[in-house]
Structure 1
Amino acid sequence: MQNQMMPVPFYEDTVVLVGRDNEPMVAMRAIVNNMGMDWPTQYVKLTEKFSSTVGEIPTVGEDGKMRGMVCLPLRKLPAWLYSISPNKVKPELRYKITRYQEECDDALWDYWSKGSVTRFAALNVSQQIALSRHRVALLKELYRTRDAGVRAALHEQLAHTSLQLGLSVPELKTIGNADPLPDACLKSLWDALEILDRRGERYNHAPWLSGKIYLKLPHLEVLFKKNGIKLIFDAKMRHAMKLSTQPKFVSTGPKGSSIEDKTIRCWIFEGPLKTEPAILNLSSI
């Protein structure tokens, strides 16, 4: 058999076989890309662990042009596949990697030996167990994750897995919580500081005209109580403060206080805050 590329359908992907001296070889870049992994990293891994068998093979594509493809013998493919730990990749990739590990080499051998790919008509017991475990892992990850983009990707994978198992798809909003919009959450804080501004209370511990904002939370709590402001720095508020962009959150740590004339631990922002006129001017103290 000549060194010719043979595209093989595998679910929604295409894997490429290359025939060399009557031995099936797998074009590795295509399979790595299909699985959502980084090709340069996997290329180094392939050349280190499979140096005696991996190699670049000149192939003739469907367009008649010659190409060099990094290939691994099909018999070695399971060893490479199972060197990848699904628990060490992004949650949205775990199911796909598990599916490649369990089915890809069989599908490619069927194509090589029979000229067609055998598709499973129904999930066998081991596949159902693997999918069920993956579904539980997705649910746990969704419950922990607060980033909206990651949650959307995880929920898409959960929907796909649930449908394969014949189970209902829980609504995203019922699983854990996404991050609140920081601007909405912080409005109560900025409003409270506006009240302190109007009453002449000093709360910014940064040097005058420095363009910085140093907030000492225990000091603010005292000022809030004194001025009848009901606001607490709970976990939700602190998390929102770290996401602040106007003013921009920098870090927390020790800084010299222009109010107490000593080093204090404070929240550090870069100002000024951009708001509508007369709402708040954090640099005015």
Structure 2
Amino acid sequence: MQTQIIPVPFYEDTLVMIGKDNEPMVAMKPIVESMGLDWRSQHVKLTAKYEATMVIITMVAEDGKNRDMICLPLRKLPAWLYSINPSKVKPELRDKITRYQEECDDALWNYWTQGTATRPGTMTVADRLRVHRARHDVLNKLEATTHAIKRQALYEELTELSTLLGYPAPALTAVGSTEPDEPTAITELWDAIEELTNLGIKTNHSRDLSMIAININEVARLAQENKIPLPSCQDIRRNIPLSKYNPYIKNTVVNSAIAGKSIKCYIFKVRRNGLVDAQ
């Protein structure tokens, strides 16, 4: 079962959630102790009321060792907090607990009288989980690619997702690596081939999955027919040796996997996850 650490703002503090099977859980002992409450007595109280929903999750503690943590679903946390007597917590936490309990009153009133209860300007935990997953996916894609234009586009997505969560975006140079920019003609060539592929139009004549074999005249014709911008064939051929995203190998005749006959093509090595295949 997958777990994910999720920081969630709680007034001036940040609670650390554990995303387990798409449901956020809260490690209770750190919260109880930070409020100055006795863990043993609260453990008895939690077990008596929430035993059916409590789970034990193994986490790495501050000493680097694995510890079993008693966790409560986040949806149950308000009920537990509402049961706390503010006079029994640390003085510096009393106003916060009272404020939260009063907010619970307002939320219950709004739910029963208006049919909904939301806090304006904040994301739900489910929303934050979705944004966290999207941010993680973008980070992986950014780390995997060395294509300068694609890296910039992914970085813009990463920045927007980080802003939604209230996090600073890491520096672009800190995630993955890049290579010197390719000539514009080659970048536009690969972009055109990608657009053609998305339209279901095949351009790769190679029978070897680790290679790309393209006929420039054919790509130019297909791009024109589908109104996809492309530099002149002369400009593309002049810059083909400088292709870095898919490194250029040679210009030769291949037995086409598309047409089933011999066609002269430019041959390139396929990139996988930002790296040249070792095949």
TM category (shorter chain) comes to 0.3 to 0.5
Normalising by structure 1, we get a TM-score of 0.34
